Structure 1
Amino acid sequence: MNEPMSEAPVPLNVAVLTISDTRTEDTDKSGRTLVERATAAGHQVVAKRIVKDDVYCIRAIVAGWIADPDVQVVLTTGGTGFTGRDSTPEAVTVLLDKEVQGFGERFRQLSGDEIGSSTVQSRAFGGLANGCVIFCLPGSTGACCTGWDGILAEQLDSRHKPCNFASLVIPGRGQHG
């Protein structure tokens, strides 16, 4: 059982990237969901973009955010499926110093309760690069809610015990790389 949280949470700087060939700011419900949930949790959303599902366009944006010392967390939505245009894993995994295998495993476990065996086609994943954590979620609003509510809300909370990802990205609190 988790211990009661007594200290104030440390807000993190979050960047949100929606990967889609069709979404606009007006129709980007999944990106908006991640922004709303991160903000409600006390984090600062420092960047939000939409990019077409293209390996090199995705990689360029994520690499830029990983290199930016003001970005501690990158959340992506979209491009993690199994169709021909889904290329987020191919774009981002080459940038990672370490992969968080448990993120994808846990996401698919939670998602299985909602969408059954279709969850096996999800290639959601997470990792660490240059002291920044990256979590790549499917493009549906429901998947973003599942990922945030079931994993990220706790793991990005500096008070969550016994461990959390916030401690890895807060200067002086953890180890980078």
Structure 2
Amino acid sequence: MPIDETRPFLPVRIAVLTISDTRTRADDRSGDTLVERLTTAGHILAAREIIPDDLDTIVARLHAWSEDPEVDVILTTGGTGVTGRDVTPEAVERVATKMIPGFGELFRWLSFQTIGTSTVQSRACAAVAHETYIFALPGSTGAVKDAWDGILKDQLDSRHRPCNFVELMPRLGER
């Protein structure tokens, strides 16, 4: 999609949340991939944390960051599958003001190009909570690359045409 070079780039403050019972900062490759991509694109890493696959813990972190005026976007990685411990979509739904169903649909279409029918096991989703975007991504490095490179890189670029998420940010809290 086209980038309008006559428009200014507006950096977005992005928090990265890895949801895993087993990952640490030393081996959080998906979180590292997101941080590398967002900073290379010119955005600001607002916060980064690793928390366990626990519904109440995830909800609490999403609430705190979505209410923080220094966080515009939350990217989560992990917990979007179908096993019993995968509860990230449920946490997102608990804090959401509005769901963004097109994100998950487009993510699975893009992921299908890479992993075929295995993409049906993903419950990647997106929402607006308060005035903050939340994008819940699977925990694999390939999945976060697909999501960033195929969707988020453009939608979080204020110069992307015909429209992007950044230009809507000032109006997210309107009623």
**TM-score where L is the length of structure 1:** 0.95
Q: 2-side partners of 1:154 and 1:110: how far apart?
A: 14
* Alignment root-mean-square deviation, CA: 1.2
Quick check: 1:69 aligned with 2:69? yes
Q: Partner of 1:117 in structure 2?
A: 117
Letter matched to residue 132 of structure 1: T
Q: Partner of 1:157 in structure 2?
A: 157
Query: Shift of residue 74 of structure 1?
Result: 0.3
Query: Shift of residue 3 of structure 1?
Result: 5.8
CA contact (8 A) 2:130 2:172 kept: no
Q: Partner of 1:78 in structure 2?
A: 78
Query: Shift of residue 161 of structure 1?
Result: 1.2
User: Secondary structure of the residue that 2:71 maps to in structure 1?
Assistant: coil
Q: Partner of 1:176 in structure 2?
A: 173
Q: Partner of 1:103 in structure 2?
A: 103
Q: Partner of 1:11 in structure 2?
A: 11
CA contact (8 A) 1:19 1:53 kept: yes
Q: Partner of 1:90 in structure 2?
A: 90
Quick check: 1:26 aligned with 2:23? no
Letter matched to residue 143 of structure 2: A
> Unaligned 5+ residue runs, structure 1?
none
Letter matched to residue 85 of structure 1: R
State the aligned residue count: 174
User: Secondary structure of the residue that 2:9 maps to in structure 1?
Assistant: coil
Q: Residue 3 and residue 40 in structure 1: after superposition, are their counterparts in 2 closer, same or farther (change >3 A)?
A: closer
Q: Partner of 2:41 in structure 1?
A: 41
Letter matched to residue 30 of structure 1: S
Query: Shift of residue 6 of structure 1?
Result: 1.8
Q: Residue 26 and residue 158 in structure 1: after superposition, are their counterparts in 2 closer, same or farther (change >3 A)?
A: same
CA contact (8 A) 1:79 1:86 kept: yes
Query: Shift of residue 176 of structure 1?
Result: 2.4
Quick check: 1:166 aligned with 2:166? yes
Q: 2-side partners of 1:3 and 1:69: how far apart?
A: 27
CA contact (8 A) 1:131 1:168 kept: no
CA contact (8 A) 1:37 1:148 kept: yes
CA contact (8 A) 2:4 2:160 kept: no
Query: Shift of residue 130 of structure 1?
Result: 1.1
**Larger deviation, residues 21-30 vs 6-15:** 6-15
Q: Taking every aligned residue pair, what percent have the same amino acid on both sides?
A: 55
CA contact (8 A) 1:168 1:176 kept: no
User: Secondary structure of the residue that 1:133 maps to in structure 2?
Assistant: strand
